[in-house]
Structure 1
Amino acid sequence: MNHLFAFRHVGTWFFVLALLLQVAASPVQAKEETASSSPLALSIEKFLADLKNDENSKGMYAGIAVYDLTDKKYVYKHNAKRNFIPASNMKLFTTIAGLDKLGPDYQWKTEVFVSGKVNNGGILQGDLILKGYGDPSLKPDDLQQMAKAIKDLGIKRINGNLLLDDSYFDETRLGTSWMWDDEPYGYSAQVSGLAVNKNFTTLTATPGKTVNDAPVLTMNPATTYITVTNQLKTTAGKESNVLVERPRGKNEIIVSGTIGVQAAPYDEDVTMEDPAFYVGDLWKNQLLKQGIALHPKTEVKKTVLQSGVPLYTHLSKPLGEITVELNKDSDNFYAEMLVKTLGVTQKGEGSFEAGSEAVADVMKRAGIESGFRQVDGSGLSRFNMITPEQMIETLIFLQEQEYRTELEKSLPIAGVDGTLKNRMKGTSAEKNLVAKTGSLSGVSTMSGYVTAKNGHKLAFSILINGIYKSKYARELQDRIGILLTTYPDIAAPEGFTPPEKKTYPLSALIDPILDTPEAAGVTAGIMIKSLDSTDDPVLYERDADTLLTPASNLKLLTTATALNQLGSDYVFKTEVYGDAPITSTGIQQGNLYVKGYGDPTLHTENALKVQEGVSIEKIAGWLKQQGITRINGNLVMDDSYFDQQRLGLGWAWDDESYYYNPTIGALAMNRGTVMIEFKPANDAGEPVEINLLPQTAYVQVINEAKTVQKGEENTFAILRDRGTNTIRLSGNLPLDHEGDYERVPVEEPAKYVGSVLKETLEQHGIAFAPKSEVMIQPVPPAAVKWTQFESMPLKEIVQYLNKRSDNYYAEMLLKTLGAVKKGKGSAAIGAEIVQETVASLGGNTTFDMMDGSGLTRYNLISARQIASVLEGMTKESTFAAYDESLPIAGIDGTLKNRLKDTTAANNLHAKTGSMTGVNTLSGYITTKGKEKLVVSIMFNGYVEDEELFTKMQDQIVEILASYE
């Protein structure tokens, strides 16, 4: 089909006219945001153009703004109104607000109180109370000084308890959407009103003297609050591969791997849960070292002090000095303690939310009313979003403040110190450029000041996201930083002409939708391609190679690979074994074994069932049919087909109570969850009525939720204690609430299966020996296989997965791919299979895939890469199953309520994806002219109302459906 005419035959002429009017009304942003004729602009544009020619750097996208503080004008902008994840550039907002609201001379205090009296013999008949006020810099030496002061005040013995008050801050210890796999490490330490040593201890592993000797593990400061399990081995040579883990919700450090006998000691800063008790442990030790005796029954407990006069007060260094450490070293802990201090001092609440509000108040004075998101102080969360222009406005604002010198002194200096110590050395930027850096996986940022060759002071911000190889981002920042030192003496690059914006047949219709002012902060990656055209098949693209967070669009890759590599008719098996053949007596000596192979559909026969297949009741029924009445051994569950990593890398800690964040294992059921049905009681004041499915003792439900009168606020909540199977119901549920249900993930899925199976077997009349247990072990080689159960075909499983966008199913498939194809059931090996499949389908593999569902924000992929999978699948024998699995607009799945009564209804087959700041849609559509298209639309960024994402997608899809 010929596409020479951009918008012929699209719907009605009224529709075309409306769109053309929209084009006319749209502000022309291109001139402001792209290259001008200045040598500076041309030079930077060449840097950017060169990066687009390399497969390893073409996916990254940058927002750049440079402002001449002397001439008071912008000298360069590129995507300066787009939002970017700022990483540690967020610390500039936090520290400027801290200096602004608290002042450079602000000092944190830590106070010691006593309850009771000290007698003439120096015996305190009462408690010693330590109260924190959020000092981020408190060190063990400070505790020693405080303990000595207590001794000098005459206290020789404490006959009460050591009480800790950390109530100055709230009890939320981690920032919004921080990643669970970061938690063991010092840069992700928990935040508390009473803290010491930045709430971590440094663990040192020293190799044994010989290969046969166990490595020695020490902690500094030493503490009994954390237990250490040493699984590390000393090996020959100088190489080391040390793994440090801390199970979620626990104060246990597990050290495994190897350390060479000739290797240097290995250090790791490790964190803990509820760190106020860590302070208490160190505080107790310091008191004892000072010779202050404690009663044998003295305990370390928490309290909330209501009043009193402190016996002793310790003051921190001034904020101005602490800001230097914070920014030079990019210290996350200092930043988080500062943001919560802002919250409590300015808003009366020591929370991330209140602190962020306090920062926003300062940003308003800087001229930034809205259009950004801050959820923590350090930038560790990927929910933070700012624009280069907003950063420049902040840097301009700083120049007018009395504390400007303190803040600028805190910034790393190129080639000299801090995080810029080893960058731009030996260049004109050395000692001349000061800036805050920031880095996360896929993110690199640098914002600050530089003195130009003409003596002018320039403020700059370079925010880069979508990074596949980080060195390219750092090199771009350094090249720009060095270039700015030569301003305005810059020669235009020879022979370089900025590439003109390419137009496509649908440009006039789609560009106005994307260029609406409301979407200024959004990065859009779009690929629309004909499957039928013999001419240029691309009808439209924009930033199609840009690497973006795909959310659930990643499931398109997982399911395509599963169908191609395993086959549409692949079935999952679940095996049952015994230590001996089934006897005729009904009494079975030895263990009963169940081995899982990743069946995502295993279920119990209740409301948790979503597909036919193998149920726990079916397994129990089969065993009963064999005449078994008693098992005199243990019930052993074998989940060794997959690895033991229960959550995807980069999943958020604060999602762990929710169904879409399930635990994964080779033997698991009910999509890794239990169900809690709830409704109000008959009368106000009564507990909320609940029903647990399945009825199992494996989880403990603590119901503290109350029924309240009609019309009262609904504050009902269901949360699971981290790392446990304790589920807590809290808040109020009004009488006029209709009732509902929540699915809650559980820990250790194989043990969940085993516990429910044992309970079900007992209900079926099959008894176990009194001391029998549910155990997790591999099936021994000598065991006798009794039977196996099989799931429905993969094509039916994939249909449920994509229609409902089920994360659990996707993760089970990804690990199955690794296990079947390469003998290792891990997400990493599964992702290797996916990348190999993408290559076989005609796509390139310069993308990052860390899970199967798209739940992690580590994933980065482009619209072109997704479209290549969609196109490649049309040539595969499994295409029918793949296409049938996709939601249909206006009909079913996640598109059931979208595009109804439009030309796209019952036409668009596509996978949706959404997370905060992310919205994607990719699939197939047939135009009015009967032309089949693949479409991938990916939006990342900040908008005031996220419904704008789906609105823009739907507008584009309607254009495609109406196209002739």
Structure 2
Amino acid sequence: MKRLLKRTGCWIMLMLLVFQLAAVPALAQDTTGTSEALAANIEQAISELDKDPNSIGLHAGIAVYDLTDEKVLYGHNADRTYVPASNMKLFTTIAGLDKLGPDYQWKTEVYATGKVSAGGVLNGDLILKGFGDPSLTVADLQAIAAALKEKGIKQVNGKLLVDESYFDPTRLGYGWMWDDEVYGYSAQLSALAVHKNMLTITVEPGKKAGDTPVLTMEPATEYVQVVNQLQTVAGKDSDISVQRPRGKNTIIFSGTIGVEAAPYQEDVTMEDPALYVADIWKQRLTASGIKLHPQASVEKTTLSTGTPLYTHLSKPFSEILVELNKDSDNFYAEMLLKTLGATEKGEGSAEAGSEVVADVLKRAGVEAGYVQKDGSGLSRFNWITANQMVKLLTFVQDQEYRDALEKSLPIAGVDGTLKNRLKGTPAEKMVIAKTGSMGGVNSLSGYATAKNGNKLAFSILINGIYKSKYARDLQDKVAVLLASYPDIKAPDGYKPAVPDAYKLSALLDPIAEEADASGITAGIVVKALDQEQGEAIWYEHEADTLLTPASNLKLLTTATALAQLGKDYQFKTEMYGSTPLPKNGVYQGDLYLKGYGDPTLHTEDNLKVQEGVSMEEIAAWLKEQGIKRINGNLILDESYFDQERLGLGWSWDDESYYYNPLLGALALNRGTVMIEFQPAVRAGDPVPINLLPKTKYVNVINEAKTVNSGQENTFAIERDRGTNTIRVTGNLPLGTAPDYERVPVEDPALYAGTVLGETLENAGISFSGNSTVSVGTVPQQAVKWTEFTSEPLSEIVSYLNKKSDNFYAEMLLKTLGAVKRGEGSSSAGVEVVQETLSTLGVETNFDMVDGSGLTRYNLISARHIADVLEGMTKHAAYQEYLDSLPIAGVDGTLKNRMKGTAAENNARAKTGTLTGVSSLSGYVQTKDGQKLVFSIVINGYAPKSEYMTAIQDRIVSALASYEDK
């Protein structure tokens, strides 16, 4: 039985349909014009998706409500939570219409400090204050400057100040991906914004191959540096990449553009956009003939006093809304959400704005069971249901702003993001709806005018998409059916599916059905290892649904590492010199340290988690060779891996946390430093901290204070983005137990080199005064002095899986790429993983992007994971693989789970946890000794994460207690 038709809510509805049809006389069984025919057509369309390996994994929540007849027409997983992508904009924009009204206008104000003389000279500062206008343009700034000129201002002798304090200082949405940041759809947010806080860069080819292409910038500004590394080549093809280093205002264009190619255009972003506005503002003032003091500085401020000079008003919200929804503009949506927070809650934050949305949703009958983290849907931490969306769309029909919303929605086959869809079908011009699309996610929600004139509200939320075409096709199929309703009939020969019965259905169905009813999606597979293929499947539920696996993905990485590298594989770290080792203790030349991805490289302190190569060991070896002084530089070679420091899809707001390490072929202490802390003896004293290793590589600013017990604990450790400045802030109450945080650092090789240099100095090996530490490559003529080796891979994999270490997993993935593909990248490592799993009998129609499971771009099914586990039982490295897994109630990440159950000291499994994600996959023996492999992957919103782990523990404990009678 195929996966989608086994869903509990679906098959119950279809069984009821069977009973209804059975009660109708034979001549009356024509279902033309009935909701049952609609259901049958949609269910058949869904079932067809299970026949194609490119679509089998997607799962949909669908709800259709007849607004005219006031009845539900169809529901499929309508109360399950899904990541909605840009359908979240409907929540935001409806709340905006409800609270602000269609006629709302954003303002931008100009103030002055000091007096304006009779001659038009402002002897004071000019202040531009923003109130969140998302639509402010360069032309608007020009008009404001012209208005000031008309008021008689000819010269400003003070500073140019900009005030963005109407919004909070958080620049990006919760959980947005760092690798999206360079693009305009992920622009930074500020209450003072122009040109949507982005630049439009146009690339035109040179006149002939070999010429440097021409880049133009709109609007022109010196605030952002654009680096042109492009080359013109023959032909019409282009291969252009755009990068912006985190925290920097440098845009790097690289690649090629064909001499016959059309111009290439990209919207790119910048850091701290209020200062970008200030630069454009300064230009416009000058262009208007207003003189500025040559030494006038441009700074940010928070306005406290000043004389109002001018107020600019935006277009009405109803006009801005059209662009927002038809073009699915993320920036407009995020600025609107913060505006709602500022106007209604007195706080211009996404959190406050979401509270306002919640107030509106409550009036619409949606009180709980969803999560909103941003305004646009770019965050994958949003969770909603199709029924919630339809309730909101139904609510709008009774509101005065109904027409304003509907005018803003794309029209099928006509405009906006639906311009090229549904042309020539009954849905053309009859469907108006908001689209939503990002990797693995596609959604469509809005209104359809049925053939009988009835107005229908609908929502189609699809996750787990391997190939996006299939999701759009399903949406379009539903849209055509709605536009044709009720002039439709059930497909010929259609029969509602009945779910398969499995050996453990009676045991596990109640748990799976409880999970379904809670709004989460659970993929479950249980398979016996010692039974024939036809009898091996003991249980399946949503077995092929593609879900985010979290750290269960490490099962793939470690299985491949053991299979391809071997259990005895050791990482090496090489040391070279410009010349052979000296005999007099003084080395005249450069010292090179080359890394090959050893994840265990460490210092001998509390950061050490495994035996292996330490900085102290390296220093001791050099001392044993009699070296006392190095008159040269220390050069670190990390060329074995690429320069991609973070996994694709990792969240920008995780970068201060240990589980989000920066990667490099030469990296120390899992890419982190440790800060130990505890309260001082007395309240009011600074919080004592201890940095490990004791290095000058990071700059720790300690502003934290000890406070009395009972006071709020606001203690925090964060790293300034893209830097090695770590800030310790907040209050730590007396009585708080001593603790520590590990914090990732930038440029792992330089970190390792700096600490090595310091360790050498501490060991009595000095460097000359002009010696430097830098990243480079070992020259061909260098002399290899020695190499240091790690513990065997079996030991490394054991630590990795038992502790679920992200850094180890990512280093292993890049090592696989380097060893087997000659390219130390994650993408090359993934190729090795998929090729290896294929030899183990695992289908590879899943998405793997990193090695640890930290990215939400990963999509895989419970069946895929179970097949990996089963395949490894036939491999020579199975015992090492099995031994690496946490044991229930005993060790690793399962140490405190399933204690006192039959699974304790029995089940061996890998955990996986992200917000809205929980997984557990591994091996267990039944009470009568039968060996089972299982995989449980759960996605969705649950009020408490413990709910998901409780489901897993109940299933595994039930398996361990099972006795085949």
Question: Residue 522 of structure 1 corresponds to which residue in structure 2?
Answer: 520
CA distance in 1, matches of 2:62, 2:17: 14
Alpha-carbon offset, residue 261 of structure 1 = 1.8
Given that 2:11 and 2:497 are in contact with CA atoms closer than 8 Å, whether structure 1 keeps it comes out as no
Instruction: Give the % identical residues.
Output: 67
Q: Partners in 2 of 1:205 and 1:780 — Cα distance?
A: 37
2:777 is aligned to 778
Output the CA distance in 2 between the equivalents of 1:208 and 1:724: 37
1:62 is paired with a residue whose SS is strand
Query: Within 5 A, what are the aligned runs for 1:424-503?
Result: 424-503=422-501
Q: How does 1:277-356 map to 2 (within 5 A)?
A: 277-356=275-354
Would you say the 8 A contact 1:236–1:261 is kept in 2?
yes
How far residue 571 of structure 1 moved from its aligned partner, in angstroms, is: 0.2
Q: Is the 8 A contact 2:886 2:908 kept in 1?
A: yes
- Is the Cα contact below 8 Å between 2:413 and 2:421 reproduced in 1? yes
Counterpart Cα distance in 2 of 1:194 and 1:465: 35
Q: How far has the Cα of 1:140 moved from its partner? A: 0.3
Q: CA deviation at 1:631?
A: 1.6
Inter-partner Cα distance in structure 2 for 1:399 and 1:479 = 25
Q: Does 1:955 align with 2:936?
A: no
Quote the residue 1:885 is aligned against. 884
For residues 520 and 735 of structure 2, what CA distance do their matches in structure 1 show? Answer: 40
Corresponding residue for residue 403 of structure 2: 405
Residues 1:31 and 2:29 are matched in the alignment: no
Q: Is the 8 A contact 1:636 1:774 kept in 2?
A: yes
Q: Is the 8 A contact 1:544 1:864 kept in 2?
A: yes
Structure 2 residue aligned with 1:213: 211
- Structure 2 partner of 1:573: 572
Q: Are 2:220 and 1:222 aligned?
A: yes
Partner of 2:107: 109
Q: Which residue of 1 aligns with 2:172?
A: 174
- Kindly provide the amino acid, as one letter, of the partner of residue 407 in structure 1: L
Q: CA deviation at 1:769?
A: 2.1
1:311 partner SS: strand
Q: 1:31, CA displacement in angstroms?
A: 2.9
Distance in 1 separating the partners of 2:517 and 2:201: 47
What amino acid maps onto 1:154 in structure 2? G
Alpha carbons of 1:27 and 1:478: their partners in 2 closer, same or farther (altered >3 Å)? Answer: closer
Aligned to 1:157: 155
Q: Which residue of 1 aligns with 2:630?
A: 631
Give secondary structure in 1 for the equivalent of 2:896.
coil
The code of the aligned residue for 1:697 comes to K
List per-residue Cα deviations over 1:501-530 (Å, max 9, x = no partner).
Answer: 111111122121122278521011000000
**Alignment partner, residue 14 of structure 1:** none
C-alpha contact 1:33 1:79 (8 A) present in aligned 2: no
1:35, distance to aligned residue in structure 2 (A): 8.1
Partner of 1:22: none
Work out whether residues 35 and 41 of structure 1, in 8 Å CA contact, stay in contact via their aligned partners in 2: no
- With over 3 angstroms needed to count, the CA separation of the structure-2 counterparts of 1:517 and 1:504, relative to structure 1, is closer
Q: Which amino acid in structure 2 is aligned with residue 847 of structure 1?
A: F
Alignment partners' CA distance in 2, 1:34 and 1:730: 60
Aligned-partner SS, 2:114: strand
Query: Which residue number corresponds to residue 537 of structure 1?
Result: 536
Q: What's 1:647 paired with?
A: 646
| Residues 895-910 of structure 1 aligned to structure 2 (within 5 Å) | 895-910=894-909
Q: Is the 8 A contact 1:126 1:160 kept in 2?
A: yes
Cα distance per residue 1:473-508 (max 9 Å; x no partner): 001101110111111111211122122111111112
SS of residue paired to 1:449: strand
- Equivalent runs, 1:797-816 vs 2, <5 Å: 797-816=796-815
Show the counterpart of 2:695. 696
Residue identity in the other structure for 2:282: K
Partner of residue 558, structure 2? 559
Deviations along 1:643-693, one digit per CA (max 9) or x if unpaired, are: 000000000000000000000100001000000001111221111100000
CA–CA distance in structure 1, aligned partners of residues 95 and 667 of structure 2: 48
Tell me the distance in 1 between the aligned counterparts of 2:43 and 2:699.
60
The structure-2 alpha-carbon separation of the partners of 1:646 and 1:253, relative to structure 1 and needing over 3 Å to count, comes to: same
Task: Work out whether residues 656 and 662 of structure 1, in 8 Å CA contact, stay in contact via their aligned partners in 2.
Answer: yes
Residues 665 and 749, structure 1, Cα contact 8 Å, conserved in 2: yes
Classify the secondary structure of the residue corresponding to 1:525: strand
Matches within 5 A, 1:362-401: 362-401=360-399
Distance 1:675 1:99 in 2: 48
What is residue 253 of structure 2 aligned with on the other side?
Answer: 255
Give the CA deviation at 1:943.
1.2
* Counterpart residue number, 1:601: 600
Number of residue-to-residue matches in the alignment: 939
The 5 A counterparts of 1:409-420 are 409-420=407-418
Aligned-pair CA distance for 1:308: 4.0
Distance 1:848 1:54 in 2: 16
With the length of structure 1 as denominator, give the TM-score of the two structures.
Answer: 0.96
Looking at structure 1, the residues matched to 694 and 234 of structure 2 have their Cα atoms a distance apart, in angstroms, of 53
Aligned pair in 2 of structure 1 residues 610, 57: CA closer, same or farther (>3 Å)? same
The whole-number CA distance in structure 2 between the counterparts of 1:212 and 1:47 is 52
1:852 aligned to 2:851? yes
How many angstroms does 1:78 deviate by? 0.5
What is aligned with 1:661? 660
Question: Kindly tell me: are residues 245 and 428 of structure 1, through their superposed partners in 2, closer, same or farther at Cα, counting changes over 3 Å?
Answer: same
Listed as ranges, the gaps of 5+ residues in structure 2 are 1-6, 19-35
8 Å CA contact 1:519, 1:943 repeated in 2: no
User: How big is the shift at 1:28?
Assistant: 7.8
* Partner residue, 2:181: 183
Displacement of 1:458 after TM fit? 0.7
Contact preservation (8 Å) 1:68, 1:459: yes
Please, which runs of 5 or more residues in structure 1 have no aligned partner? 1-25
Task: Within 5 Å, give how 1:263-274 maps onto structure 2.
Answer: 263-274=261-272
> In structure 1, what is the equivalent of residue 670 of structure 2?
671
Task: Identify which range, 714-723 or 764-773, moves more after superposition.
Answer: 764-773
Q: Which whole-Å deviations, capped at 9, do the CAs of 1:412-469 have from their partners, x for residues lacking one?
A: 0000000000000111111111000000100000001111111111111110000000
Structure 1 residue 29: Cα displacement: 7.8
| 1:910 CA drift (Å) | 0.0
| SS of match in other structure, 1:385 | coil
Residue 55 (structure 2) aligns with:
57
Corresponding residue number in structure 2 for 1:790: 789
1:5 alignment counterpart: none
Q: Quote the Cα distance in structure 1 between the aligned partners of 2:74 and 2:204.
A: 52
How far 1:210 moved relative to its partner?
2.2
| Structure 1 residue 590: Cα displacement | 1.8
For residue 635 of structure 1, what is the amino acid of its counterpart? L
RMSD: 1.3
Tell me which amino acid in the other structure corresponds to 1:466.
Answer: G
Equivalent position of 2:25 in the other structure: none
Secondary structure of the equivalent of 1:231? strand
CA distance, structure 2, for counterparts of residue 511 and residue 274 of structure 1: 53
2:582 alignment partner in structure 1:
583
| Alignment check: 8 A CA contact 1:35 1:498 kept | no
Distance 2:513 2:680 in 1: 52
Q: For 2:189 and 2:420, how far apart are their aligned partners in 1?
A: 30
TM-score (norm 2): 0.96
The answer on whether the counterparts of 1:546 and 1:863 sit within 8 Å (CA) in structure 2 is yes
1:107-149, CA deviations, whole angstroms, 9 ceiling, x for partnerless residues?
0000000000111121110000000000000000000000101
The answer (yes or no) to whether the contact 2:516–2:522 under 8 Å persists in 1 is no
The C-alpha deviation readout for 1:199-252, integer Å capped at 9, x for no partner, is: 001111222222232122221000111011221122222211111100001111
- Note the alpha carbon deviations across 1:131-186, whole angstroms, 9 max, x for none: 00000000000000001011111111111000110000000111110000000000
The structure-2 alpha-carbon separation of the partners of 1:858 and 1:35, relative to structure 1 and needing over 3 Å to count, comes to: farther
What's the secondary structure of 2:535's corresponding residue?
coil
Does structure 1 conserve the Cα–Cα contact (< 8 Å) formed by 2:9 and 2:77?
Answer: no
* Equivalent position of 2:33 in the other structure: none
Whole-angstrom CA distance in 1 between matches of 2:126 and 2:11: 66
- Check if 1:70 corresponds to 2:51: no
